[in-house]
Amino acid sequence: MIDLYTYTTPNGRKPAILLEELALPYTIHKIDIGKGDQFTSEFKAINPNSKIPAIGDRDNNLTVFESGAILIYLAEKAGKLLPTDAENRVKVMEWLMFQMASVGPMFGQLGHFRNGAPKEITYAVKRYQRETLRLLDVLDRQLENHPYIAGGYSIADVATFPWVAAAQTSYLGISMGAFPHIDRWVETMQQRPAVQIGMNILQPGFKSSFGTLAVPDSTLQLIAV
């Protein structure tokens, strides 16, 4: 059983999508970052950096933080969506790190300076929008000749999709009109039941064959695995 500590952000949705794809039973514990749940001492026992998501694996009596590390851990646990041969594995890891080091941070900074800064800083908005568009162009060119980011469907797609989905919302306001291959990939991803369910965590009407929502006030009791 996996305990998933998360919230409705792109990073927070990644492990939920993967858990659905892997058909691993999990319990969702809401860490409301708007209320500061991530800064409690109990949550810091799992992630000293006070960021979601994090997981606890009761089977192995351990915890994992950082979304990329979580995806790798779960894929290896289930033996799916992360190739074992060197050539294909390194391709998946390259594009996973592309998301972790570039897509997430740059998209996130664009969102912050467009919506969260106390006053508009034109330079920052232009800088991060330009970099976001550059990264989307890199991704679009990769998808021109590949059905999925690293060739076959993998954790690289799971990691990247929630951020691309966020880019299309009013929060970031990026049009995919100039990126037809990303647009095709997004449509393909949206058809996957696991993606649909994982993107819907902590929303009204959430239904899953593998995931359940923890009962209220149970998070602190279950953090220590």
Domain locations along the chain? 2-80+196-222, 86-192
Scan for tokens 């009013």, then name that residue. 170
For CA atoms 189, 183, 125, 127, the dihedral sign is positive
* Contact residues for 124 (Cβ-Cβ < 8 A; gap 6+): 109, 113, 117
Counted residue by residue, the chain has a size of 225
Please write the tens of the pLDDT for every residue from 43-91: 999 999 999 999 999 999 999 999 999 999 999 999 999 999 999 999 9
The proportion of the chain whose per-residue pLDDT surpasses 90, expressed as a percent, equals: 91
**Distinct helix (H) and strand (E) counts, the chain:** 10, 5
SS3 of residue 124 by DSSP: helix
Return the DSSP state at 38. Answer: G
For the chain, the 3-state helix, strand and coil shares in percent, each to the nearest 5, are 55, 10, 35
2-80+196-222 CATH = 3.40.30.10
Residue 190's alpha-carbon distances to 17, 153, 174, 204, in angstroms, are 11, 13, 18, 19
pTM above 0.85, yes or no: yes
Summarize pLDDT for 9-46 with one digit per residue, the tens: 999 999 999 999 999 999 999 999 999 999 999 999 99
Residue 181: both structure tokens together: 């291959």
- Token pair in block for residue 11: 């990073």
pLDDT digits (tens, 9 = 90+) for 124-156: 999 999 999 999 999 999 999 999 999 999 999
C-alpha–C-alpha distance, residues 11 and 192, integer Å: 18
Is the CATH code 1.20.1050.10 the one for domain 86-192? yes
Strands 54-57 and 2-6, by their bridges, are: antiparallel
